[in-house]
Structure 1
Amino acid sequence: MEREYDVVVIGTGNAGSDIAWHCRKAGMQVAIVDSRDYGGTCALWGCVPKKVLAGAAEVVSRAHDQLGNGIRGAIAIDWPELIAFEQTFTDPVPRQKEERFRGAGIHTYHGLARFAGPDRVAVGDDTLTGRYIVIAAGAHPRPLNVPGEDLMTSSDDFFYLEALPERIVFVGGGYISFEFAHIAAAAGSAVTILQRSGRALKEFDPDIVDRLLLASGEAGIDVQMNMPLVSVEKNAADLRVRAGRDGEEKTFGADMAVHGAGRVSAVGELDPAAGNVETDRRGIVVDEHLRSVSNPAVYVAGDANPGSPQLTPVAVMDAHIVVDNILGGNARVADYSVVPSAVFTNPPIASVGLTEEAAKEKGIPYVANAGDLSGRFTNRSIGQKHAGYKLLIDEDSRRILGAHLIGPHVEEVINIFALAIKHGLTVDDLTLDAIPWAYPSSTYDIIHMVYPLVRK
């Protein structure tokens, strides 16, 4: 059956959903399509279930840090019970989402969408024609192209394991592996991370990452550097994960090997060439308005955009840009210059703005100030040994260029620095003379981060 719409949205995650709802609210005829359960990565295989699991791991970690400081006894994670709790968040999502779409008059389709022309997509026996087609299809695990790849567990599946294996190898040294590794270690598994190069979490400041590596080791996580995956084999008892450089390969025994080596845009299965949609190795090539450079009827939001940092808040921001441009004639452009990010390990790390490496590449004169906060009351009172910071400020204007943090609540504190960078604040604007931060709090510790940098 052929049907015509103003907007056809591919993907039901946060970006696709927002676009569909806002366009429908503006009076447009809207269809939305997904080949998986309605809800998208964040709600079903990302942020929401991850935070539930990470919250439990944080409780265990906090209790361990406080042993000998007035806290006695062991606390443990009941994995099946934790997963059952997690599913109270995820299980209702697909039905609720679809009911909301239908209640708003948005037509819902299930199945794989493929381009059947510049303004048409086929979904099973249906062909949907749209004045605009929006791709918000998310991402999937990056193909590793090694023998035994099919024996690995995807990061999506990790969220719904009925039982947690005794030994787990995580392949890849990015945020997915580190977050899952800290969760699994807190739940009692023996955990190994295999990072293909000599540097883990490359998007973050290396000095902050080094402190996280120390904390990870103390949590029982074995992080192996320069260990590119070679193969995964199965024998009668377990998996044998082989990794390393030629002549220096090692074999790691495991009950489970988890793919945490990055995700790529899920656009290839859409047959973009049939829609005259240009792609590169990272996704769909778009202009500053998030419109396909080769097909003006196609917009992109979220992970399918090669320039996206692949974070949920960025996908939502993309969605609002796409809606405004569809309704208002391409008036808005995408800006990813200030995007705070966090890794929910124990302790977490967070970053926004320039790293030292990036500042040097751009030729920006800067002053760096780094320090330890483990002795501060806020951290010492909860037994947290791994807390610190690095701030970068412009040498001339004294504006904040970057902030890199490790310790409790840094996923919240980093947003203060994001606002400061976005609005051109200087370090002098963050002192106690400027703002009497609530005390005691992790935000109050900003005063101690900026104090060495303020004008005396």
Structure 2
Amino acid sequence: MAIEHYDVFVIGTGTAGKGVAKDCAAAGMKVAVADNREYGGTCPNRGCDPKKVLVGATEIVQLAQNLKGKGITEVPKIDWQELQKFKENFTSAIPISTEKDFKKAGITMYHQSPKFLDETTLSVEGKTITAGKIVITSGMHPRELKIDGREHLLKSEDFLNQPTLPEEIIFIGGGYVGMEFAHIAARCGSKVTVIEMSERPLMPFDEDMVSHITKASEVLGINFIFNAKVTEVELLQTNYRVSFQKNGKTETVKAKAVFNTSGRVPSIEDLDLEKGNIAFERDGISVNTFLQSTTNKNVYACGDVSASGTLPLTPISSLETKIVSENIRNGNTTKLTYPVTPSIVYTLPQIATVGMGEKEAKGKGHDIIVEYKSVPKWFNAKRINEKTYAYKTIIDKNTDVILGAHIVAAHCDEIINLFTMAITMKMKATDLKSIIFAYPTWGNDIRGMV
């Protein structure tokens, strides 16, 4: 059987993989892609985009709840099945449209996860493939919990595709996914419990800001169990029983469905990386500043699967895509720089962060000014009767340069974008205060936060 050769072979068809493949094909290279899931990747199919559609409906409920008795007489209820149909408008066409794009670009497609045979050879769909450059963009998938009864656990994509929403839900893990889904489910009428190993949810975020979102979540009706290690999931007649260790004792809680939201890990276990002489670590493929494998010069990795030191976010995947495609086409000419990157959790209210926290700023030798306030009486919160609004900003005392911002607010996703721009441009607090913003907007509030 003849061995097919490609200039570039891309593993994964999400944001990163699609970008590299199309760039290289446009440059006249012979390109192929492979994916063992539906084409298009996690974000548009089973991640960020469908999640945000569900969040959109809960925003209406929350705003009505805030203003009930203040001009609003009734809080609407969410029809989960109708909402799911609406969500399908955004997701159903993604795989087909992605494949059409590849076909139009002259890119060969495979529908299986390849395995490395050596540094430049792959096995896929029973065929042997060689490539000048191989790009791994296989993303991440939910971490498996090594506990008894783990076969009963559902995953994040199961939640997004639930035909009916269970009356009682347990989420194991209080990170991004667990907290966002907990808020969606609670506002859709489910009784929600979050079990978290640490002493609080959202460990990467500022502790003071997290305390505000935790209190708001409890007011919503979410039950938290902290410092708890889940040990077993049992199927009962109509429920699932989750056992966990807390304070040296075994306790249990029951629900109609249990979701594993304990985190995500790089999707590399099926690639036989050892045969390809490809080093990897906990965060993914080991890469240099060119996003090239540290042990196999023929291999690059970008997006969530690369251990590049960046956050696993879609905009970062797009950035790394350009770096890899340029380095493949032009030789290693472009290095990864580490941009100021905001991170947002779409609970309601939202929680967002960008730049340095207090400990990081002090650790880097900055003499800092920390401004931390709870401001539910500011106009933008007050006009929608939102009780939770807080911020913490970090300023260098000597230079007046803004170093970091941490916010809990109804619309902090837009506020944090303005802080991201300010930090990227190394703006001083006095510079930010001098800018005229439209009033009364949430963006204008940043002038009062520094």
**Residue in structure 2 matched with residue 110 of structure 1 by the alignment:** 111
Answer yes or no: is the 8 Å Cα contact 1:408–1:442 preserved in 2.
no
**Residue in structure 1 matched with residue 147 of structure 2 by the alignment:** 146
Q: Residues of 1 paired with 2:101 and 2:283: CA distance?
A: 32
User: Could you state the TM-score of these two structures normalised by the residue count of structure 2?
Assistant: 0.97
Q: Residues of 1 paired with 2:332 and 2:203: CA distance?
A: 34
**Residue in structure 1 matched with residue 327 of structure 2 by the alignment:** 325
Residues 362 and 244 of structure 1: CA distance in aligned 2, closer, same or farther (over 3 Å) = farther
Residues 186 and 12 of structure 1: CA distance in aligned 2, closer, same or farther (over 3 Å) = same
**Residue in structure 2 matched with residue 378 of structure 1 by the alignment:** 380
**Residue in structure 2 matched with residue 454 of structure 1 by the alignment:** none
Say which SS state the counterpart of residue 19 (structure 1) adopts. Answer: helix
Amino acid at match of 1:426: K
Residues 328 and 174 of structure 1: CA distance in aligned 2, closer, same or farther (over 3 Å) = same
User: Could you state the TM-score of these two structures normalised by the residue count of structure 1?
Assistant: 0.96
**Residue in structure 2 matched with residue 45 of structure 1 by the alignment:** 46
Amino acid at match of 1:215: A
**Residue in structure 2 matched with residue 312 of structure 1 by the alignment:** 314
Q: Residues of 1 paired with 2:373 and 2:155: CA distance?
A: 38
Is 1:240 aligned to 2:238, yes or no?
Answer: no
Say which SS state the counterpart of residue 331 (structure 1) adopts. Answer: coil
Q: Residues of 1 paired with 2:90 and 2:100: CA distance?
A: 17
Q: Bigger shift: 178-187 or 314-323?
A: 314-323
Q: Residues of 1 paired with 2:437 and 2:382: CA distance?
A: 19
**Residue in structure 2 matched with residue 365 of structure 1 by the alignment:** 367
Answer yes or no: is the 8 Å Cα contact 2:110–2:125 preserved in 1.
no
**Residue in structure 2 matched with residue 271 of structure 1 by the alignment:** 272
Q: Residues of 1 paired with 2:34 and 2:177: CA distance?
A: 27
Amino acid at match of 1:340: P
Q: Residues of 1 paired with 2:118 and 2:78: CA distance?
A: 52
Q: Residues of 1 paired with 2:439 and 2:207: CA distance?
A: 30
Task: Measure how far apart 1:184 and its partner are.
Answer: 0.2
Task: Measure how far apart 1:372 and its partner are.
Answer: 2.1
Q: Tell me, which stretches of 5 or more residues in structure 2 are unaligned?
A: none
Query: For each residue in 1:172-210, what CA deviation from the matched residue of structure 2 results, as whole angstroms up to 9, or x when unmatched?
Result: 110100000000001000001111011321111110000
Amino acid at match of 2:439: Y
Instruction: Name the % identity.
Output: 41
**Residue in structure 1 matched with residue 162 of structure 2 by the alignment:** 161
Q: Residues of 2 paired with 1:335 and 1:444: CA distance?
A: 30
Out of 405, 415, 418, the position equivalent to 1:416 is 418
Task: Measure how far apart 1:128 and its partner are.
Answer: 2.1
Is 1:288 aligned to 2:289, yes or no?
Answer: yes
Q: Residues of 1 paired with 2:299 and 2:310: CA distance?
A: 17
Task: Measure how far apart 1:74 and its partner are.
Answer: 2.5
Query: For each residue in 1:3-40, what CA deviation from the matched residue of structure 2 results, as whole angstroms up to 9, or x when unmatched?
Result: 11111010010110011111111111110110000010
Answer yes or no: is the 8 Å Cα contact 2:32–2:107 preserved in 1.
yes
Q: Residues of 2 paired with 1:60 and 1:202: CA distance?
A: 28
Say which SS state the counterpart of residue 153 (structure 1) adopts. Answer: coil
Task: Measure how far apart 1:336 and its partner are.
Answer: 3.0
**Residue in structure 2 matched with residue 80 of structure 1 by the alignment:** 81
Task: Measure how far apart 1:245 and its partner are.
Answer: 3.2
Query: For each residue in 1:217-272, what CA deviation from the matched residue of structure 2 results, as whole angstroms up to 9, or x when unmatched?
Result: 11111111101211111111210011123632220101111011000000111110
Answer yes or no: is the 8 Å Cα contact 1:10–1:32 preserved in 2.
yes
Out of 324, 342, 353, the position equivalent to 1:351 is 353
Amino acid at match of 1:244: Q
Q: Residues of 1 paired with 2:191 and 2:337: CA distance?
A: 41
1:121-270 correspondence runs (5 A): 121-245=122-246, 247-270=248-271
Q: Residues of 1 paired with 2:181 and 2:329: CA distance?
A: 40
**Residue in structure 1 matched with residue 391 of structure 2 by the alignment:** 389
Q: Residues of 1 paired with 2:173 and 2:360: CA distance?
A: 23
Q: Residues of 2 paired with 1:366 and 1:244: CA distance?
A: 40
Amino acid at match of 2:46: W
**Residue in structure 2 matched with residue 453 of structure 1 by the alignment:** none
Task: Measure how far apart 1:302 and its partner are.
Answer: 1.1
**Residue in structure 2 matched with residue 439 of structure 1 by the alignment:** 439
Q: Residues of 1 paired with 2:380 and 2:94: CA distance?
A: 37
Q: Residues of 2 paired with 1:65 and 1:246: CA distance?
A: 37
Q: Residues of 2 paired with 1:420 and 1:97: CA distance?
A: 35
Is 1:22 aligned to 2:23, yes or no?
Answer: yes
Answer yes or no: is the 8 Å Cα contact 2:205–2:353 preserved in 1.
yes
Task: Measure how far apart 1:444 and its partner are.
Answer: 0.5
Task: Measure how far apart 1:328 and its partner are.
Answer: 2.4
Say which SS state the counterpart of residue 20 (structure 1) adopts. Answer: helix
Answer yes or no: is the 8 Å Cα contact 1:378–1:442 preserved in 2.
yes
Q: Residues of 2 paired with 1:214 and 1:206: CA distance?
A: 12
Say which SS state the counterpart of residue 244 (structure 1) adopts. Answer: strand
Q: Residues of 2 paired with 1:341 and 1:300: CA distance?
A: 22
Amino acid at match of 1:318: E
Query: For each residue in 1:56-77, what CA deviation from the matched residue of structure 2 results, as whole angstroms up to 9, or x when unmatched?
Result: 1111111111111110112111
- Count, aligned residues: 448
Task: Measure how far apart 1:308 and its partner are.
Answer: 3.2
Q: Tell me, which stretches of 5 or more residues in structure 1 are unaligned?
A: 451-456
Amino acid at match of 1:137: S
Amino acid at match of 2:441: S
Task: Measure how far apart 1:335 and its partner are.
Answer: 2.7
